[in-house]
Chains A and B, each alone.
Chain A
Amino acid sequence: MRKSDSLTQHVDWWLFGIVILMLTMGIANVYSAAYDPDFPSIFDFSQKYGKQIMWVGISLFLGFLVFLIDSDIYRKFAIPIYLFCFSLLILVLFTPPINGARAWLGIGSMGIQPAEFMKIATAIALASYISSVNVKQQNIQTVLIALAIVMVPMVLILLQPDAGTFVVFTSFFFVLYREGITFDPLVLKFVNVIPGIKFKQTWVGSHFIPILFYALFLSIITLLMSKNEYEFIFLPGVLIPGFYGVLSVLILLAVIAYLIFSWFSTRRERGRIILIVVVGWFLSSLLASIVNFSFSSLAQHQKDRIELVLGISDKDEKDGKDYNRNRAMAAVGSGGLFGKGYRQASVASVRSNHVPESETDFIFCPLSEEWGFLGSATIVFLFLFMLVRILIIAERQRSTFNRVYAYSVAMIIFYHFAVNIGMNIGFAPVIGIPLPLFSYGGSSLMSFSIMLFVLIKLDSQRRDVLS
């Protein structure tokens, strides 16, 4: 192996730069949201903004340490790291609960959340395991071990309970999908029971994860839309039931998909694409219809329960069960195009206390309220840019380990991004997960920083690896 000449050689400055940018914006945001006129200094360490600066400092220091350590250590010590975090996850279950969850380990305000670090450990363990198996010869055992690495921590996290992190762990399924860990061995076992059928592989088995998520996503969207009626600007006076809205959007998507794919394909493939698009659209519409029909045939109390989980209960709940989401959406929606101005948030400021946790899980609120659509769109673009950058990094890796790790990081950050912003705009149920690098809080800042710096370190040493 050939060692790098210096620590900073081959560092991906794009990713590094965006991390620093996000951390800086995060501090400015926390300062604005939690601003207390009695303690005007941003460096006041009794205040959340002062503490955030301290956490950022600690995170950067940890990142620096990561740079000093040869990335080979993660390959070698993947299992001990995993087991260490795993034991912390067990240990945390024996602590007294804080706010109804046993998620915190440590003394006083300096606690950490093991679940945050378990994400990194799981990513490393998964990378280590997948790089050790030959996916072309996978069997049931391969699939089960891979699933176990992800799902056993999930069970422990559910015991805390911490629904947010639990959901985030499902992001690893996409990594499995990308790496070709298919569910075929499991699916074939059931399919081949039927006499006369002897498949080597099934389409459903190999694309099980995206299909499952697509079906889930479509069902939830259908449920969300089925309650409402929409009036389009170009069709005034015509109220379109939400379900038909879903169907028309599906048609639109199918047309767009066809146009995009046919642009990239040869004429010979075009027939196949049309078939795929039509079948896909048909199945999607069928699923949406089934969901819509079965939901409308449910009894009212069953509907209420589902609506509660989805956070789409009636308007009367805006001061009750739907309080958080309603206040968050009011904060975001009142921002307008240019926002109310820095430190001018009226709904989302911590002092006004309308939006709970507006400096942590709901940090997107003060940001969107103060900077308007320009600010919120900037955040969305920043995250998309970061995600694409991570994918580019992932795809240029020579080693499976690095690639799996990179994909894990991308998927985790994507999940946090999608769910966190989703709950601010009424697209996701309110489950408490932070916005990476923006939300106030030591554990989340440190774990995301370490996660990203490990990735940058791995990437900077990608040429050292042969396989």
Chain B
Amino acid sequence: MNLDGRKNVIIVFFFTVGVIYLSRLFFMQVIDDTWKLRAQEIAEKRKEITPPRAIIFDRHDKKVVTNKSYYNLLMCQEEMTEFDTVEFAKLLGWTPQKVKNRFYEIKKGEGRYFNKNIGKYQENYQPQRKYPFIKELTNDEITRIAPHLEKFPGFFEDLTSMRFYPYAGGANIFGYLSETNREEIEADRFYRNGDLIGRAGLERYYEKELRGQKGIKYVVTSALNNAIESYAGGKYDTLAKQGAPLKLGLDIDLQYYGERLMKNKRGCIVAIEPKTGEIIAMVSSPSFDPNLLVGRKNISENYPKLALDPGNPLFPRPLAAEYPPGSIFKLLQSLIGLQEGVITPDTGFPCTKSMVGCHNHPTATDLRKAVQYSCNPYYYYAVKKIIQQGKFKSNFADAEAGLNKWAKYMHAFGLGRELATDISSVRPGLIPDGAYYDKWYGHHTWAFSTIRSIAIGQGEVKVTPLQMANIAALIANRGWFYTPHFVRSIGNKKIVTKNQRHRTLIDAQHFEPVIEGMRRVVNEDGGTGKKAAVKGIVVCGKTGTAQNPHGEDHSIFISFAPMNRPKIAIAVFVENAGFGGTWAAPIASLMIEKYINRKVLDKDKEKYILEANLLHMIAKPKKK
């Protein structure tokens, strides 16, 4: 038996294993990525650091939306030792039972996720994880609790930040934040469970700008899920970056003043700087303190109250409430009539009251007077001339062509379309055109007589308060406007550029007689808006009184001031307050005075408005 060959068997055996192992190692370490991913899953965790949201400034560089720090009390079961629940409860100011309940809640609720495979919710509580035991503790609360936490291992304080609104106004503009839901997390990889997202207003529209950039820290975590050190010495880490501050055209003092004026009234005020299109104030009444919706605790407490409030404070009235514009529409009808050449500044119509009602006033012998007196029959005749221009033999075809032309003018005024402003929930309002009435009545079955109520801003026409203010702005500008917007610049970047300037279809010279009429409305005898007059400022305005099925007429006033080089265009809308000159006009004048003079001298008028409570007028429906 030759045994010498057997040493070769063993050598071959050694080398076979060696080669197999080397190949396997090469595959595992160099070629295959499975284990690299697995290692990341196990030990190399990405920690995201959320920066505080960007700050928002008003036009005078006042901080209107900022952040304040607050604390969470975290717990980690694995690090806990036996402790006195009663003493702990006393420290928190809770009952011992509440402490126990909270533990139960965390164990059952936190980390609960929907398992698609079995179609059931599954618990995913991990004792080694940190969970927020109490969220959003104030500074006072934490300074009281923190010194005693030593006695309770497994409880930690954790600093984070949330929104703070130094002025208790502008809730409808700023919106609010709440935690992201599953769809949002799935739709945008930026978000993680528990992250906040803008829910309304600017917070929602400028979410991407406000949220900033998350910082990413790579850390090595232990089997107990604790971070032990930064991965690769922090080589791959990035810093969290707060978003650049937003600068608004808003004047927070005026905004807050407007909210005070609108107390105990329902409606809105929208003020625009005509030459820029920047929104100076946008009051929606009833309003609320935006700090009421900061943080989970506040939201769960206050949101239901606000949602159930009969005044519907969460409804963005200036943007989404569509009202009949009433007499302010006469301004636009005048402009279209002049542009179309169917009337001249000196055209007069008798106040016949046979087709539409009117109040008693001297005869409007020219256009300026028609605006001044707000004569309904005048506009019945004028708009009839616009709609029925006699270009077609058929009365119906003529009306259709006329109405479509008219609608085109209206669209150019920013009506019947959503004004592409930088805030969400904007509604388009309604400007009926031929197709619209065809649907209602049938093709070629209607003429001006059928739709005559649009002449005086009643009937099918719907306009939002934002659009009303924009009407004032475009008249102030004599024929053009910028889309109304809030944000002037983000960091160093300007938002609105020249090419977003919209031209109306009206030539500049046609505005003068209309504006002269508006001056007379406020400043001359027989004007319907004399309560809007401000000493030392030439205010131009137009009252409106919109009939509606919900009760008393809506009180409307749009105006701009001063007449030459206007600084502010404003629309005031007070629901169910009656005649436009009674309530809307003085409110507008106070706003104008406050904005232009920075203070209000007409204390009597201010007192008259502040003390007025018009809410009682809403409840009683008007008998027809």
Contact = CB atoms under 8 A, between A and B. Distances in A.
Contact of B11 (A135, A334, A388): A388
Given A333-B34, A344-B232, A372-B29, A178 B7 contact: yes
Interface stretch (B67-75, B217-225, B360-368, B582-590): B217-225
B29 A330 contact: no
Chain A, interface residues (CB within 8 Å), range: 35 or more
A395 interface: yes
Given A344-B232, A373-B25, A333 B14 contact: no
B239 interface: no
Contacts of B308: none
A111 interface: no
Contact of A334 (B18, B36, B232): B36
B25 A334 contact: no
Interface in B3-42: 3, 6-7, 9-11, 13-15, 17-18, 20-22, 24-26, 28-30, 32, 34-36, 38-40, 42
* Interface of B, helix, strand, loop or mixed by DSSP: helix
Given A332-B28, A425-B25, A384 B35 contact: no
Chain B, interface residues (CB within 8 Å), range: 35 or more
Nearest to B218: A346
Contact of A352 (B9, B24, B228): B228
Nearest to A410: B10
A376 interface: yes
A436 interface: no
B1 interface: yes
A353 B38 contact: no
Given A353-B222, A384-B14, 6 more contacts: A178-B10, A201-B1, A329-B38, A354-B223, A373-B30, A425-B21
Contacts of B21: 380, 418, 421-422, 425, 427
Interface in A369-398: 369, 372-373, 376-377, 380-381, 383-384, 387-388, 391, 394-395
Contacts of B43: 330, 346-347, 352, 354
Contacts of B222: 351-354
A136 to B, nearest CB: 7
A372 B9 CA distance: 31
A463 interface: no
Contacts of B32: 333
Interface in A150-182: 174, 177-180
B205 interface: no
A336 B30 contact: yes
B231 interface: yes
A414 interface: yes
B209 interface: no
A394 B418 CA distance: 93
Most buried by B among A327, A373, A411: A373
Interface of A: 135-136, 174, 177-180, 201, 206, 210, 326-327, 329-337, 340-341, 344, 346-347, 349, 351-354, 368-369, 372-373, 376-377, 380-381, 383-384, 387-388, 391, 394-395, 407, 410-411, 414, 418, 421-422, 425, 427
Interface of B: 1, 3, 6-7, 9-11, 13-15, 17-18, 20-22, 24-26, 28-30, 32, 34-36, 38-40, 42-44, 220-224, 228, 231-232
Contacts of A330: 35, 38-39, 42-43
Contacts of B231: 346
Contacts of B220: 346, 349, 352
Contacts of B28: 329, 332-333, 425
A395 B5 CA distance: 12
Given A177-B6, A421-B21, A376 B29 contact: yes
Given A340-B232, A352-B222, A353-B224, A335 B3 contact: no
A384 B10 contact: no
Nearest to A334: B39
B1 A210 contact: no
Contacts of A201: 1
A326 B22 contact: no
Contacts of B223: 352-354
A174 B13 CA distance: 11
Contacts of A388: 11, 14
Nearest to A377: B22
Most buried by A among B13, B18, B36, B231: B18
B538 to A, nearest CB: 74
Contacts of A135: 3
Given A335-B29, A352-B223, A421-B21, A391 B7 contact: yes
Nearest to A329: B35
A380 B18 contact: yes
B1 A206 contact: yes
Contact of B15 (A136, A180, A384, A411): A384
A314 to B, nearest CB: 14
A103 B28 CA distance: 34
A421 B36 CA distance: 19
Contact of B35 (A332, A377, A383): A332
B30 A387 contact: no
Contacts of B11: 388, 391
A354 B29 contact: no
Given A327-B42, A334-B36, A395 B14 contact: no
A376 B3 CA distance: 34
Given A330-B35, A380-B21, A341 B10 contact: no
B186 to A, nearest CB: 25
Contacts of B7: 178, 391, 394-395
Contacts of B13: 210
B1 A380 contact: no
Contact of B25 (A177, A380, A410): A380
Nearest to A182: B1
B436 to A, nearest CB: 59
Most buried by B among A354, A410, A421: A354
Contacts of A335: 29
Contacts of A336: 29-30, 36
Given A210-B9, A329-B28, A178 B38 contact: no
16 contacts: A135-B3, A180-B3, A332-B35, A334-B39, A335-B29, A336-B30, A344-B232, A351-B228, A354-B222, A377-B25, A383-B18, A384-B15, A384-B18, A391-B14, A395-B7, A427-B24
A333 B37 CA distance: 9
B6 A178 contact: yes
Contacts of A340: 232
